[in-house]
A and B are shown apart, each in its own frame.
Chain A
């Protein structure tokens, strides 16, 4: 009897349950959504000054701070990936899952889906709030603006997931993961231009910026929203983000072992 190697139904069951578990963690959801919204309000005047200096007199600052904070906090989704795995260890259910008929691939995919959904929902909420609350307007056509932002956001969420999978495979404890995610978010986010745009950063930071995933997401958003360029302008940023996603997932797949012992909070 030949069994199918991947059951979408089972992976879907795992995804549905994992999403439920992830959503029950209200604290993290607040960090993902309300913290960036608050930061946008605080930083908007600064953004406006910067854009004015760069010759965008009509800008209200949202063009800078909405993508900035969205990208900065999007990176925190890497912890979500890890949490999905680490907490199963904490609850003792990881071994049960492994002893069940679920294949490793079904488990990994199932446990990754919630991060994709949460990451996408987070960006959707932040961009909508940017438009509604902070008066964000794209300087190009509306269609380009919407499609462009969606394309960059989708690539960003995938990149975050890929990095999250890699971090999950590399870290042994949830604490290590959350330190890595925090450092990655703040340091790489800052370097990438999430707080102030890269061209006002010190020289060394400008050299390092292109090596951060955040830089590419921000570049994509900036070309669409601030500079009003066409969709062709985001091909490279999106490609880089997707490459990061693939690289992270590959590294994760190479290093990840179902039998590894992970330590959640307890």
Chain B
């Protein structure tokens, strides 16, 4: 029996007759980072809110550190940290008071508390800002405080709902470093974001939520291997040679043609193609190797036009 980390099964939720979650399963083992991806309106915030006991579920199970979170939300909260998507800080109180308050609410004693606040502040670059009123922080600094408040009490399961919105490069790095460190310390992290490079940098296990269902799951590598492939792209002025393999698409510049040749060995394929071009090399305009990325895999999964949650639900209902 697995009794730690997070386990969600068959989670369903409707707002009125708008079905947002339609039987979602998600697990995060201790020490694991799960990147929860999905277009706007896919239901990521709904899912984390239900898991944190803020909204009710229509059906399904949520287990946090072995506690049935839907039946005993108070019991589950002892293990839980949540940085909601919406900023939540007391603007007229200092950064330190904001942090200490939530540490105290989680039952931390006065002694451990100061050290822990200092530790979390250092990790998120807030040390010099501890005495400042939260309302006087910049947007990115507020976001860091907001994130710090979710982890100051050392939760075993942590939900971060878009923690890097509006963050600068340095903040982003700090947040990612903290998340990695927490995972290394055995915390199960669910990380919602729209910045796919973050998921790659975290080497997170990915769950893609679309139209109320998890449509793909696996490591970044798995998703890339399964849902996308590398290709070599050649652009010609006019018609490419007839014997050239690959898919032909009208080029971006009028009168040009793009040839897309999928391959598992881009450089090998490219040299082979170039060697076989002959005189056609004369009207070759450009050559590009497209490496498969999480982004291309993601787009293949949720649709190029970002079949948003709402649109996808409509499609599914039709």
**A residues apposed to B, CB below 8 Å:** 3, 10, 13-14, 17, 20-21, 24, 91-103, 259
Contacts and interface: CB of A to CB of B under 8 A. Distances in A.
B82 interface: yes
Contacts, number: 68
A230 to B, nearest CB: 47
Given A96-B149, A98-B54, A103 B74 contact: yes
A103 B106 CA distance: 11
Given A100-B102, A101-B77, A93 B90 contact: yes
Interface string B106-126: 110000000000000000000
A100 B106 contact: yes
A79 B149 CA distance: 29
B185 interface: no
B78 A95 contact: no
A35 B78 CA distance: 46
Nearest to B52: A99
Q: Is the interface of B mostly helix, strand, loop or mixed?
A: loop
A101 B49 CA distance: 15
B90 to A, nearest CB: 6
Contact of B89 (A93, A97, A98, A102): A93
A103 B77 CA distance: 10
B86 A17 contact: no
A24 B149 CA distance: 22
Contacts of B84: 92, 95-96, 99
- Of A3, A96, A259, chain B has the most CB atoms within 10 Å of the CB of A96
B82 A96 contact: yes
A10 B103 CA distance: 11
A101 B106 contact: yes
A259 B74 contact: no
B93 interface: yes
A91 B89 contact: yes
B87 interface: yes
Contacts of B53: 98-99
B44 to A, nearest CB: 15
A68 B246 CA distance: 90
Contacts of A24: 92
B55 interface: yes
Nearest to A100: B105
A27 to B, nearest CB: 13
B54 A95 contact: yes
B75 interface: yes
Nearest to A24: B92
Contact of B101 (A3, A17, A103): A17
Given A96-B82, A99-B52, A99-B54, A13 B90 contact: no
Contacts of B92: 21, 24
A99 B91 contact: no
Given A92-B88, A95-B88, A99-B82, A3 B74 contact: yes
Contacts of B75: 3
Given A21-B90, A99-B77, A259-B54, 10 more contacts: A10-B105, A17-B90, A92-B89, A93-B89, A95-B49, A95-B82, A95-B88, A99-B84, A101-B105, A102-B105
A94 B91 CA distance: 13
A93 B86 CA distance: 9
Interface string B48-66: 0100111110000000000
A227 to B, nearest CB: 46
B195 to A, nearest CB: 22
Given A13-B101, A96-B149, A259 B55 contact: yes
B80 interface: yes
- Of B75, B90, B97, chain A has the most CB atoms within 10 Å of the CB of B90
22 contacts: A3-B78, A10-B105, A10-B107, A17-B97, A17-B101, A21-B92, A91-B89, A91-B90, A92-B86, A93-B88, A93-B90, A95-B82, A95-B88, A96-B102, A98-B54, A99-B53, A99-B54, A99-B82, A100-B102, A100-B105, A101-B77, A101-B105
Contact of A13 (B54, B82, B93, B104): B104
B256 to A, nearest CB: 51
A19 B6 CA distance: 36
A61 to B, nearest CB: 41
A98 B80 CA distance: 12
Q: Give 4 nearest A-B pairs by CB, closest first.
A: A92-B88, A96-B88, A100-B105, A99-B82
